[in-house]
Amino acid sequence: MLLIHLSIPGSDDDDRTSFSRTKRGAERVITAGSGPFVILRPGFVVAPAAYGGSALIRALALLPLELSKREAGRPFAATDVTDLTRTVAFVARRWSGGERGWNAVWDVMAHQPSTVGDVIDAFRHCLGGPSRRMLLPSWLMGLGARAGDLVAHLGWCPPIRTTALQEMRRGVAGDPGPWSAATGIEPASLDSILRRLPSTVQERWFGRLFLCKPLILASLAIFWVSSGLIALTVAFNAATAILLSHGFPPAAARVATVVSSLVDIAIGVAIAFRSTCHTGLLAGIGVSLFYMVGAAVVVPEMWIEPLGALVKTGPAIVLMIVALAMLEDR
């Protein structure tokens, strides 16, 4: 049986993260074995579908941001996903034809060197993004990576985490010559890859909304949790007083306030976790509608309250509908 393994470019001296060390460790195990193998080391893989790092690159290309020299200047060789599939197909055909002596390690990437900044600029040109007007400092990238590490504990897969940032700062480079010579595949350049990608309104919408998604979900989670905590603590007496003024018995008013507060907190916590986010958003919409209808029956004067507490519930429902529409990652 032939083993085809997808790894990463570089060498042991370059490996600084658990991700890269485990990839290199797998390579050592494979090469030390007696079975036939082909190890493919792609660069930054560009495909029609956007996920993870490629989604982040699209988002950065559609923002008026410029990376610091520390990030923008790192080597970042591009790989067409089609070149990967063509390589696997080539090896499979040769294997089916009876060739068994496979013992290859290939860097699969474009011949032309490129940097992180070059890749973002190429996507910006392809998608019609804005010119660079603001610097995104390294410390802010690091802060975002640490936030991504925290969010990962809630089940999410953020595109920027400490490991991803360290790998980007290490750079992606290799020598595609042996691979190209062995397979006869001429690797696609970054420009030719992007010429085949769609540059449509849906691509631009995705890029602009990609970084809005975590902001929307985080704001909704904080909104629900904080509203429940406020009603349960500093505003408890004021919340119960509203119900008491409309004929609720004191015990019933306190119970209703506690229950509604705990429901709000539970909805916020559910939205924060990836596995329960969909349920939390649906519950938030349902509870918001219940609050609006209940208030219209019990305390209709709240609809004309100066700060518009109930009027603002409508936009919150719309935002939760937007979050539901954006929830899928792939």
> Residues 204-263: pLDDT tens digits?
999 899 989 999 999 999 999 999 999 999 988 988 887 787 778 899 889 989 999 999
Which residue type, as a one-letter code, is found at position 271? I
Q: 51-80 burial by CB neighbour count: b if 16+ within 10 A, else e?
A: eebbbbbbbbbbbebbbeeebbebbbbbbb
> Which of 189-193, 212-216, 231-235, 296-300 bottoms out in mean pLDDT, i.e. has the lowest?
296-300
Average pLDDT over residues 119-139: 90
270 with 283: CB under 8 angstroms? yes
**How far is the C-alpha of 238 from the C-alpha of 288, rounded, in Å?**
20
**How far is the C-alpha of 111 from the C-alpha of 39, rounded, in Å?**
19
Q: Are strands 134-136 and 65-67 parallel, antiparallel or unpaired?
A: parallel
Q: Which CATH superfamily is domain 3-210 in?
A: NAD(P)-binding Rossmann-like Domain (3.40.50.720)
Checking if the pLDDT of 4 tops 70, the result is yes
The end-to-end CA distance of the chain, in Å, is 31
Segment of 7-11, 16-20, 37-41, 164-168 carrying the highest mean pLDDT: 37-41
Checking if the pLDDT of 307 tops 70, the result is no
Residues 6+ apart with CB under 8 A from 191: 122
Angle in degrees, 0-180, between the axes of helices 18-32 and 162-170, rounded to the nearest 10:
70
pLDDT score of 309: 67
Nearest to 6 by CA among 118, 95, 85: 85
Checking if the pLDDT of 5 tops 70, the result is yes
Share of the chain above pLDDT 90, in %: 56
Average pLDDT over residues 118-125: 93
Domain ranges of the chain: 3-210, 214-325
The label of the residue with tokens 């010429």 reads 195
**How far is the C-alpha of 129 from the C-alpha of 94, rounded, in Å?**
43
The label of the residue with tokens 């085949």 reads 196
308 confidence band (pLDDT: 50, 70, 90): low
**How far is the C-alpha of 4 from the C-alpha of 108, rounded, in Å?**
13
Share of the chain above pLDDT 70, in %: 97
pLDDT score of 197: 83
pLDDT score of 108: 96
303 confidence band (pLDDT: 50, 70, 90): low
**How far is the C-alpha of 67 from the C-alpha of 182, rounded, in Å?**
37
Checking if the pLDDT of 7 tops 80, the result is yes
**How far is the C-alpha of 75 from the C-alpha of 173, rounded, in Å?**
6
Checking if the pLDDT of 85 tops 90, the result is yes
82 confidence band (pLDDT: 50, 70, 90): very high
Q: What average pLDDT is seen over the chain?
A: 90
pLDDT digits (tens, 9 = 90+) for 148-169: 999 999 999 888 889 888 888 8
60 with 25: CB under 8 angstroms? no
What pTM does this model have?
0.85
